[in-house]
Amino acid sequence: MPRKPVVLVCRKIPDDVEARLKRDYEPRLNPSDRVYSGDELVKLADGAEIVFASHSEILSAEVIGRLPASVKGIVNFSVGYDHVDVKAAKARGLIVTNTPGVLNDATAEIAMLLMLGAARRAAEGERMMRNGEWKEWSLAFMVGSQVTGKTLGIIGMGRVGRIFARRARGFDMKIHYFNRTRLAPEQELGAVYHARVEDLLPHAQFLSIHCPATPETRGLMNGARLALLPKGAIVVNTARGAIVDDEALIAALKSGHVAAAGLDVFNNEPRFNPGYSALWNTFLLPHIGSATRETRNAMGFKALDNMDAIVAGRAPPDRVA
């Protein structure tokens, strides 16, 4: 019987995905589910054909340059691949893949949760209830912002952005958006297109970020752009933390120019700027946008489809480098 290809699995994966992986490959699993350092990853990849990674593994040019010659590809269990230096991977002749198209609904659900939670002061109220601090009710008590009928600005009208827009229309929200290219009318569904982010922001009573983290979008929401939002706007981010300048957003939240923020992603995860947790007007989640059983299984199987193609010498369906 021919030897099965060796795969370095960098994080713990769903049981159903692990079962298929064990059937077809010789996996080096990570049962403790801890994040490998670059040195550990390089050492553990010795003899492996595939590095099965997630966004928690930083595959920098330096790490990629030290990967063993046996490695053919980096198969990501994620849509985003900003944790991989794709230029360095191409230079090494490594194939890099991701898992698009299967976490759209789950991420749009979390964006909706964040938008509603931030607008209606859910985190503050939940803490109050758990800490036994609810003492009375009044007409001025826990007054937040209404979502229904407001204008929603979306940065990035890809798969997730379009689904989120569709969900938001259920609240009679008016949709404005920025995208690298304008959508076809049948995809816009009446949404108002802006060719520049700066033109979108003054309309956005709510702003939801759905674009990838690229060199062009890193720090996109800085102080100058946040200042273009209407006073009292609410910011939601389920894309990548790198798109937001933390200090600028914290300053805007403190001043009240931004009324609240709902965040599922952060710079330097899992460590994040403590300024957010010190504020009452933040609704914070630990990067769980795709965290449903259905979605994580679908992501894993898509990753394995890419892996199968690479090992067989075929073009993987979700190649990004």
pLDDT by position in tens, the chain (length 321): 679 999 999 999 999 999 999 999 999 999 999 999 999 999 999 999 999 999 999 999 999 999 999 999 999 999 999 999 999 999 999 999 999 999 999 999 999 999 999 999 999 999 999 999 999 999 999 999 999 999 999 999 999 999 999 999 999 999 999 999 999 999 999 999 999 999 999 999 999 999 999 999 999 999 999 999 999 999 999 999 999 999 999 999 999 999 999 999 999 999 999 999 999 999 999 999 999 999 999 999 999 999 999 999 999 999 999
How far apart, in whole angstroms, are the C-alpha atoms of residue 121 and residue 145?
A: 8
Residue-number span of the structural domain to which 84 is assigned: 6-102+293-312
Residue 73 sits at φ, ψ, to 5 deg, of: -160, 160
CATH number at residue 231: 3.40.50.720
Q: What are phi and psi of 76, to 5 degrees?
A: -95, 135
Beta bridge partners of 282: 261
Q: Report the mean per-residue pLDDT for the chain.
A: 97
On the question of a cis peptide bond just before residue 185, with omega within 30 degrees of 0, the verdict is: no
Cα–Cα distance between 273 and 193 in angstroms, integer?
33
Nearest alpha-carbon partner for 311 in 83, 52, 102? 52
Whether 110 and 246 share a structural domain: yes
Token couple for 162: 């379009």
Could you give the 3-state DSSP secondary structure of residue 114?
Answer: helix
pLDDT of residue 96: 98
- pLDDT score of 217: 97
What's the rounded Cα separation, in Å, for the pair 9 and 30?
6
Q: Specify the pLDDT at position 2.
A: 78
Same domain, 278 and 167: yes
**For 221-236, how does the pLDDT look when each residue is reduced to its tens digit (9 = 90+)?**
999 999 999 999 999 9
Neighbours of 161 (CB within 10 A): 28
For residue 321, tell me if it sits in a domain. Answer: no
Domain count, the chain: 2
Question: What distance in Å separates the CA atoms of residue 235 and residue 119, rounded to the nearest whole number?
Answer: 9
Beta partners for 168? none
Buried b or exposed e, range 89-113, using 16+ CB within 10 angstroms: beeeebbbbbbbebbbbbbbbbbbb
Q: Are residues 88 and 124 in the same domain?
A: no
pLDDT at 1: 66
* 199 & 241 share domain: yes
Predicted pLDDT at 243: 98
Check: CB of residue 256 under 8 Å from CB of residue 282.
Answer: no
Residue 88 structure tokens: 């360095």
Specify whether 96 is located in the same domain as 207: no
Catalytically active residues are 240, 269, 287
Residue closest to 81 by CA, chosen among 67, 64, 106: 64
Whether residue 27 is found in the same domain as residue 81 = yes
Q: How many C-beta atoms lie closer than 10 Å to residue 275's C-beta? A: 15
Asked if residue 75 belongs to a domain, the reply is yes
Same domain for 91 and 108 = no
- What lies within 8 Å, CB to CB, of 47 at 6+ separation is 6, 68, 70
pLDDT of amino acid 289: 97
**Rounded Cα–Cα distance for residues 202 and 236 (Å):** 16
